[in-house]
C-alpha cells in the first residue's frame, strides 16, 4: 500500500498528560496536539520543545536537542561522534535517512594495523578515529528539513557549555573510571574534566572550551552572510575545512597517546580526511510486518537486522503467546540470534550486501524453521545468494580486557549512547541516535573541548569481509533509529542507546507494543531482555553462546521456564536494560503521543 500524506493532528492546545490504561507506569504517556519531544536527557527534551514553541518544526527541535545532548551527556556522545537519522517529512511525503557516520581515514589500512602488530583496531585512543560525522549530519538535517537559523538551534548548547549544567551521576562515574588514565596519559582530558578533581553528581559543570568552539563556529557562519542556508554551509566549512579540521590534524600528527593496546600511538586522521567527507541523504531500508511498515538505515548500519527479525517473527502468533510469556521471549531471542548471525557475515559499507535476499520471505521461512523448542548454542548465519557466510570473530571468545580501557565504552558503568525523537503538529516525525566521541574514549583536543570518536574499532582486519577496514569506508555502526507506518500512515519514531542491544531492545519494545494493548509508556516500562550470543561489535568482540540477560522483574516461573529451555539466564537489575524513547501520531484522535525511559533517571518526554 502506498503511504498516504500525513495530515495535521489538530489545532495547538494544551491537553493534560494522561494514561488511558489502568496499569501503573513510571510516568504517564503524554498526549497533546502541538508537539512532542522525547530524549535520554530532560534538558535536551526541554531544549527541543523550546524550538517548537519558538515556531520551529520537528527537525529544528531535533537539532537543538542534539547539540544540547553533546554538552549534557558527554560520556554518551560528543561533537567527535556519529549520527544516523530516520525521518518522515510531511512536505516531501517521504521517509529518508541522514547518514552522519564518518568514514575511516585515508591512512587507515589493514596493512598499517598489521605493521603495528595489531589483530584488531583498539577500542580507545587516536588510532580508532573516523571523521566526526555528527556535526555534518545535524547541519544537513537543519538545512534540508528545518526552518531555523543556526543561532536558534545552537545557542542553548552554548549557554549550557559556558554557563554550566548539572552533572548526572553517569558522567561523574565515567570520569572517575578514567581518572588515573587522564592524569598519567591524557593531560588534555584532565584539564577539562578534572580541573577541580572528580566532580560530584549534581554539581554545576562548565566546558568553556566547547562553548568557545561553538561560539566561534556561529561567529564565522554569521560573518559569511547570505541567509540561513549560507550560514549553515559556512559553519560546515569551518568544521570540515577550517579551524576545527586544522586543530584535529595538528593534534593527531603531533601527539602520541596511550590506547587500549598498552602503547602510545599517533592518530591517522588528517584535515584532508575531513575535507573530503560530507553527510548524505539516503533512501531507507524497509519491511512490512502486518499492518505496519518499519524503516531503518541501510546495511552500513546494523539497522536491517531489525527488519530481518520482523521477517522471522511474522510467522509466529506472538499476540497469542502473550508478551511477557516464556514462549514470547524465547521466540524473539532465537530469531535475534539468527538475524544477528547474518549481520556478522554480510553487513558492511559495500555495494555487495545481499539485502534483498536477506529480507526475502522464502529465505525467512527457511531460517524460521531453525527456531526450535530449546535455546540454540550456535552461531548460524545463512547461505544467501550463493554466498558462503564469513564471520570474522571467533564465536564464544571472551576477554577480560586490557590496559587503558580495552573494550566497549558504550555499555556498563561507562554509559552508552543518546537518542531523541520529535513529532510536530505538521505531521513530521524524526528519530535520531547520536553517539561516539565519548569523553572517556580518546584524549581531548586542546582548545576544542572534545575528543575524537573510536568507531573504527567496529571494523575487522579480515580482507574480503564486508566490514573489513578500508580507507574512506564507513564502519558498520550499531546506531539504529527507527520509524514506522501504521496502515500506510506515518505513525511512530523510536529508538534506544545500547550498542548491539539497540536492535534487540527496540525490537522487543516494538513487538510488545503492536502485539498487545499497551500504550507507549507501558511498552517502554515492560521488563526487557537481550542476548549476547553473537560477537559484539566493539573491541574485544566477545560473545556468550546461549546467553539471555533479563530484568529481574520477570516472574520467577517465566525465568525458570526459560532456563528449562536451555537459556543461560542472567538476572539484571529491575530497571537496567533498555533506554527507549518514542513519539507517535494518532490521526484518528487528532493527537500526538510520547513516552520516555525511566531507567537511569534522566530520560524525559515533554509536549503539549
Phi, psi of 549 (to 5 degrees): -105, 125
Would 2 be classed as within a structural domain? no
Strand (E) or helix (H) holding 45: helix 42-53
Residues 258 and 293 in one domain: no
Give the domain CATH number at 376. 1.10.246.130
Residues 106 and 213 in one domain: yes
Please give the pLDDT value at position 399: 54
Please give the pLDDT value at position 497: 95
Would 46 be classed as within a structural domain? no
Would 36 be classed as within a structural domain? no
The terminus-to-terminus CA distance of the chain in angstroms comes to 32
Would 568 be classed as within a structural domain? yes
Residues 433 and 515 in one domain: no
For the chain, the domain total comes to 2
Give me the domain span that covers residue 196.
Answer: 79-281+426-458
Residues 177 and 272 in one domain: yes
Would 509 be classed as within a structural domain? yes
Residues 157 and 302 in one domain: no
Q: What is the 3-state secondary structure (H, E, C) of 322-364?
A: CCCCHHHHHHHHHHHHHHHHHHHHHCCCCCCCCHHHHCCHHHH
Residues 146 and 291 in one domain: no
Please give the pLDDT value at position 3: 42
Would 187 be classed as within a structural domain? yes
Q: Are 266 and 253 in contact (CB under 8 A)?
A: yes
Residues 364 and 447 in one domain: no
Residues 254 and 150 in one domain: yes
Please give the pLDDT value at position 24: 86
Phi, psi of 381 (to 5 degrees): -70, 150
Q: Give the Cβ contact number of residue 467 at 10 Å.
A: 27
Q: How far is CA 82 from CA 125, 409, 452, in A?
A: 16, 15, 10
Residues 277 and 289 in one domain: no
Residues 235 and 380 in one domain: no
Please give the pLDDT value at position 385: 85
Residues 113 and 256 in one domain: yes
Please give the pLDDT value at position 259: 95
**Grid coordinates belonging to 23:** 496499569
Give percent of the chain above pLDDT 90. Answer: 90
Length of the chain: 608
Residues 159 and 135 in one domain: yes
List the chain residues with pLDDT less than 70.
1-22, 398-415
- Confidence (pTM): 0.94
Would 553 be classed as within a structural domain? yes
Would 92 be classed as within a structural domain? yes
| Sheet hosting strand 529-530, strand order edge to edge | 529-530, 547-551, 568-572
Amino acid at each position: 500500500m502506498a503511504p498516504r500524506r500525513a495530515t495535521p493532528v489538530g489545532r495547538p492546545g494544551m491537553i493534560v498528560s494522561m494514561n488511558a490504561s489502568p496499569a501503573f507506569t513510571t510516568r504517564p504517556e503524554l498526549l497533546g496536539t502541538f508537539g512532542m519531544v522525547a530524549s535520554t536527557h530532560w534538558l535536551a527534551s526541554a531544549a527541543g520543545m523550546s524550538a517548537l514553541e519558538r515556531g520551529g518544526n520537528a527537525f529544528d527541535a531535533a537539532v537543538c536537542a542534539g547539540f544540547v545532548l553533546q554538552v549534557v551527556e558527554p560520556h554518551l556522545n560528543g561533537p567527535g561522534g556519529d549520527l544516523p537519522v530516520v525521518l518522515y517529512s510531511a512536505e516531501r511525503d517521504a521517509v529518508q535517512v541522514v547518514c552522519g557516520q564518518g568514514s575511516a581515514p585515508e591512512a587507515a589500512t589493514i596493512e598499517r594495523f598489521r605493521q603495528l602488530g595489531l589483530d584488531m583496531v583498539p577500542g580507545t585512543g587516536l588510532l580508532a578515529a573516523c571523521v566526526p560525522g555528527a556535526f555534518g549530519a545535524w547541519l544537513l538535517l537543519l538545512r534540508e528539513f528545518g526552518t531555523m537559523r543556526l543561532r536558534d538551534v545552537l545557542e542553548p548548547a552554548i549557554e549550557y557549555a559556558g554557563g554550566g549544567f548539572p552533572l548526572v551521576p553517569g558522567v561523574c562515574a565515567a570520569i572517575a573510571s578514567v581518572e588515573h588514565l587522564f592524569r598519567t596519559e591524557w593531560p588534555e582530558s584532565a584539564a577539562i574534566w578534572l580541573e577541580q578533581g572528580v566532580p560530584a553528581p549534581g554539581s554545576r559543570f562548565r566546558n568553556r572550551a566547547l562553548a568557545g568552539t561553538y561560539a566561534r563556529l556561529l561567529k564565522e557562519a554569521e560573518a559569511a552572510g547570505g541567509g540561513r542556508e549560507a550560514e549553515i554551509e559556512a559553519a560546515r566549512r569551518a568544521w570540515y575545512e577550517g579551524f576545527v579540521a586544522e586543530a584535529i590534524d595538528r593534534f593527531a600528527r603531533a601527539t602520541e597517546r596511550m590506547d587500549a593496546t598498552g602503547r602510545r600511538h599517533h592518530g591517522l586522521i588528517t584535515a584532508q580526511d575531513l575535507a573530503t567527507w560530507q553527510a548524505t541523504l539516503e533512501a531507507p531500508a524497509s519491511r512490512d510486518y502486518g499492518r505496519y511498515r518499519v524503516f531503518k538505515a541501510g546495511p552500513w548500519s546494523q539497522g536491517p537486522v531489525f527488519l530481518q527479525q520482523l521477517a522471522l517473527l511474522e510467522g509466529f502468533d506472538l499476540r497469542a503467546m502473550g508478551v511477557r510469556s516464556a514462549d514470547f521471549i524465547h521466540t524473539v531471542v532465537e530469531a535475534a540470534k539468527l538475524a544477528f548471525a547474518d549481520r556478522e557475515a554480510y553487513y558492511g559499507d559495500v555495494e555487495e550486501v545481499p539485502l534483498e535476499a536477506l529480507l526475502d520471505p522464502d529465505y525467512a521461512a527457511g531460517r524460521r524453521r531453525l527456531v526450535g523448542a530449546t535455546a540454540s548454542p550456535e552461531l548460524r548465519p545463512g547461505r544467501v545468494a550463493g554466498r558462503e557466510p564469513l564471520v570474522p570473530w571467533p564465536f564464544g571468545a571472551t576477554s577480560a580486557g586490557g590496559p587503558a580501557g580495552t573494550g566497549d565504552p558504550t555499555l556498563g558503568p561507562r554509559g552508552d549512547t543518546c537518542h531523541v525523537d520529535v513529532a510536530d503538529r505538521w505531521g513530521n516525525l524524526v528519530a535520531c541516535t547520536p553517539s561516539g566521541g565519548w569523553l572517556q574514549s580518546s584524549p581531548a583536543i586542546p582548545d576544542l573541548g572534545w575528543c575524537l570518536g573510536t568507531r573504527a574499532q567496529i571494523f575487522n582486519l579480515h580482507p574480503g569481509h564486508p566490514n573489513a577496514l578500508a580507507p574512506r569506508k564507513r564502519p558498520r555502526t550499531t546506531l539504529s533509529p527507527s520509524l514506522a507506518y501504521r496502515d500506510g500512515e506515518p505513525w511512530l519514531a523510536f529508538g534506544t542507546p545500547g550498542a548491539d542491544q539497540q536492535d534487540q531492545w527496540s525490537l522487543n519494545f516494538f513487538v510488545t507494543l503492536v502485539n498487545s494493548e499497551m500504550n507507549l509508556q507501558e511498552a517502554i516500562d515492560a521488563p526487557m531482555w537481550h542476548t549476547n550470543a553473537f560477537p559484539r561489535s566493539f573491541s574485544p568482540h566477545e560473545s556468550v553462546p546461549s546467553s539471555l540477560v533479563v530484568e529481574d522483574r520477570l516472574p520467577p516461573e517465566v525465568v525458570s521456564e526459560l532456563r528449562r529451555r536451555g537459556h543461560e539466564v542472567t538476572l539484571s537489575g529491575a530497571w537496567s536494560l533498555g533506554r527507549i524513547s518514542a513519539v507517535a501520531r494518532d490521526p484518528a484522535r487528532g493527537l500526538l503521543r510520547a513516552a520516555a525511559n525511566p531507567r537511569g533517571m534522566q530520560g524525559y518526554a515533554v509536549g503539549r
